[in-house]
A and B are shown apart, each in its own frame.
Chain A
Amino acid sequence: MRKLLEKITKTKLFLPFFCLLLVLLINLFKSPSFFRVSVSNGVLYGRIIDILNRGSEIAILAVGQTLAVAVSCGTDISVGSVMSLSACFTCMLLAGFGVHSTTVLQMPMLIGIVAGILMGGLCGAFNGVLVSKLKIQPMIATLILFVAGPAIGLLLCNNQMVYIRYDQYKYLGNFLNIGDWKCPIPTPILVTVLVVAVIAIILRKTSLGLYVQSVGINRRASRLLGINSDKIVFICYVIAGLCAGVAGVVASSRIYSADPNNIGLHFELDSILAVTLGGNSLSGGKFSLTGSIIGAYTIQAINTTLLAMGVSTDQAPVIKAVIVITIVAIQAPVFKQWWAGMKNRRQAEAKELS
């Protein structure tokens, strides 16, 4: 039993998972109805569903962010802005330039959505070229799009919010509705599962996952081993951009509009936080996709908990900051060493006593 416990606590994902459980447990004590999931009007309701639903964007971004962090020892801070840009691009294509609100689409919805996602990919490619070919620090390279993204989005939307009042456009961010059948699970959750599955399969079935780790650990040595490091870095940034595009379209479909100033605001921070909370090092190398996704839902769980406790959205960051710094500090190597040192000393003392 003890060995099993030790084995569980030694695994890499133990701490992130433990943190998530802790946040959920606090909720359970606070309000016992937290885990209740009810069906009303043909769809699932409940706090847990809400966390899964609202956390979709962060989870999708975290997937791309994990790869970007792992491969380049830096962070992609443009993902939030790229989200905003792709949302605006999609809405601009669907509504036409300069239209404030529309009920008729200018082009098939699917084309608009795919174009929005590809826009994200294009932004990712831009970042990728800067990081891989010109060897610029990722944070500085992505700072360009961080500043430019929402600004270009505002230009595309002609400095106003664009509403798409078209029922099918709401499906992606809310519930699928085909004929009489209504899908009980919110669509963003399905999208997240799809994105995670696709990326995970690519990483497992091709050698990309291995290459990413290798390049992240030592870019130069990987090149000498015959891996095209630049290409791997580029691919990872394109994937991060595509993920941001998907998240942007989902976020835009949620509110069936493009709001350049508010879509994706602070999402880059949340996504980086998700990667860190998942136990991944920001200095690149080994990564765990599962950890990042757990991290993403931990953040959303914290957000939802604070809102449920009645903390105002403006004040919530204080508590979030304290929680975040505690979780990160617990996972820091320095703290782990100190903890291990304490343990050893206690054991030595116990031995002396006996």
Chain B
Amino acid sequence: MKRKHRMNSNTILILITVLLFFIMYFIGCVIYANKGFGNFQTFLNILINNSGLLCVVAGMTCVMLTAGIDISVGALVAMDCMLLATGMVKGNNCILMLLLVLLIGAVFGLVQGFFISYMNIQPFIVTMAGMFFARGMTAVISTKQVSITEANNALFYQWANTKINFPAFMGIVNNKGATMVPFIRPPVIIALLCVFAIFIMLRYTKFGRGLYAVGGNEESARMMGLNVKMIKLKAYVLMSIISSIGGICYCMNTMSGSVQQATGMEMQAIAATVIGGTLLTGGVGNVLGSFFGVLIIGTITTLVQTNGKLLSSWSNIAVAALMCFFIILQALFSVIREKTASKRKNARVLWSGK
């Protein structure tokens, strides 16, 4: 009975997120119709620009489900970009570099996960150290901005600049008379695959259900016979690997590496996950909600950019306001949930736990 109720309020939260995205997008279409906001390509551009963030958010959802957090992702993405850029400029094999980045991501996650699950140190502190480390390593590799051009790595350049066109009938004729066919780039496909894989994993695999169990109540998960420490460790390894994939997507978009890249990405990822209805206390959440969270953040940024006159800080304020709205909504839901639950339970519960 309780489970059903709980699933209910979560679905409502995700529905609100999805609805809000459509409303915002619709408002954008109406206000900025003359600036081409209504084009299908605008929507695809949001996906293209946020493909790195999408990957990161998929991983962040898994970590937040275990009641953890990972604030090292932005720095990790920056390190990956820098590594890819420097490696490719020096003429290394493209595929080798990509594999190296994934391997480094796995090792990075392994170390973080070890400290968090086996040494029992707070995730925030460990990943903060990880963030310092990755950001510093970026500077150690190079303090300058390194760009990948066609001359130094043709294969990667070709991949990043591939246009995957939609069928021609979806195209529109612009004011110069040329037909513009909507297109996406490879990072989008990688990102969507990541989100889909995580969705399947969370829903149908043993490990995915284990994440929910650990986040819901660590003690009872242990009593059920789950290897809590191992699951947590795996979650952080998964997070770092997916962040590395996100780093590759990000690098395909920017085609460069610099120290200041992807600053604040971790907070954007957390914001998207929160807007998507995942609770930081763990055990509640869905990667689909996070996906729409990213779309909402992307839409806000695009709206502010399309306006042109507004300061860019307005997009941050809008994101903060939205987050405030969702957080309060979640809090209200949990208050209602608690009240209905406490009616059923006896008063003894009050004495145990916080």
Contacts and interface: CB of A to CB of B under 8 A. Distances in A.
Contacts of A272: 124-125, 128
A312 B316 CA distance: 30
B107 to A, nearest CB: 15
A315 B353 contact: no
A174 interface: no
Nearest to A224: B350
Interface stretch (A30-38, A59-67, A139-147, A248-256): A139-147
Interface stretch (B134-142, B218-226, B238-246): B134-142
A75 interface: yes
B129 A135 contact: no
A334 B139 contact: no
A145 B136 contact: no
B351 interface: yes
Interface in A300-323: 312, 314-322
B32 interface: no
Interface stretch (B6-14, B45-53, B189-197, B318-326): B318-326
A141 B327 contact: yes
A265 B128 CA distance: 14
A139 B280 contact: yes
8 contacts: A144-B320, A151-B320, A152-B313, A224-B351, A269-B128, A319-B136, A321-B130, A322-B129
B257 to A, nearest CB: 13
Interface stretch (A17-25, A162-170, A204-212, A214-222): A214-222
A273 B324 CA distance: 26
B136 A321 contact: yes
Given A143-B271, A321-B129, A150 B120 contact: no
Contact of B139 (A148, A154, A224, A315): A315
Interface string B257-281: 0010000000100110010000111
Given A315-B139, A320-B132, A140 B320 contact: no
Given A314-B138, A316-B136, A317-B135, 12 more contacts: A130-B327, A139-B69, A147-B271, A148-B320, A154-B311, A155-B317, A220-B351, A220-B354, A224-B351, A282-B122, A321-B131, A332-B120
A340 interface: no
A199 interface: no
A152 B330 CA distance: 25
A147 B319 contact: yes
Contacts of B331: 130, 134-136
Contacts of B131: 269, 321
Given A143-B267, A151-B314, A317 B132 contact: yes
B334 interface: yes
B186 to A, nearest CB: 30
A146 B133 CA distance: 22
Contacts of B135: 314, 317
Contact of B126 (A130, A134, A325): A325
A141 B139 CA distance: 32
A317 B143 CA distance: 13
A187 B267 CA distance: 34
* Chain B contact surface mostly: helix
A257 to B, nearest CB: 18
Interface in B298-342: 311, 313-314, 316-317, 319-321, 323-324, 327-328, 330-332, 334-335
Contacts of B19: none
Given A135-B334, A272-B128, A332 B121 contact: yes
Nearest to B281: A137
B119 interface: yes
Given A136-B327, A315-B136, A321-B136, A329 B128 contact: no
A226 interface: no
Which residue of A130, A315, A317 has the most chain B CB atoms within 10 A of its CB atom?
A317
Which residue of A75, A148, A219 has the most chain B CB atoms within 10 A of its CB atom?
A148
Contacts of A179: none
A143 B136 contact: no
A152 B351 contact: no
Interface in B193-221: none
Contacts of A143: 267, 270-271, 274, 323
B157 interface: no
A334 B120 contact: yes
B313 A151 contact: yes
Contacts of A292: none
Listed from nearest, the 9 A-B pairs whose CB atoms lie closest are A318-B136, A314-B139, A317-B136, A148-B320, A321-B133, A151-B316, A317-B132, A321-B132, A151-B313
Contacts of A147: 267, 271, 316, 319-320, 323
Nearest to A265: B263
Contacts of B130: 321
A141 B271 CA distance: 11
A219 B350 CA distance: 11
A205 to B, nearest CB: 28
A122 interface: no
Contacts of B314: 151, 155
B280 A140 contact: yes
A276 interface: yes
B118 interface: yes
Contacts of A319: 136
A221 B351 contact: yes
Nearest to B279: A137
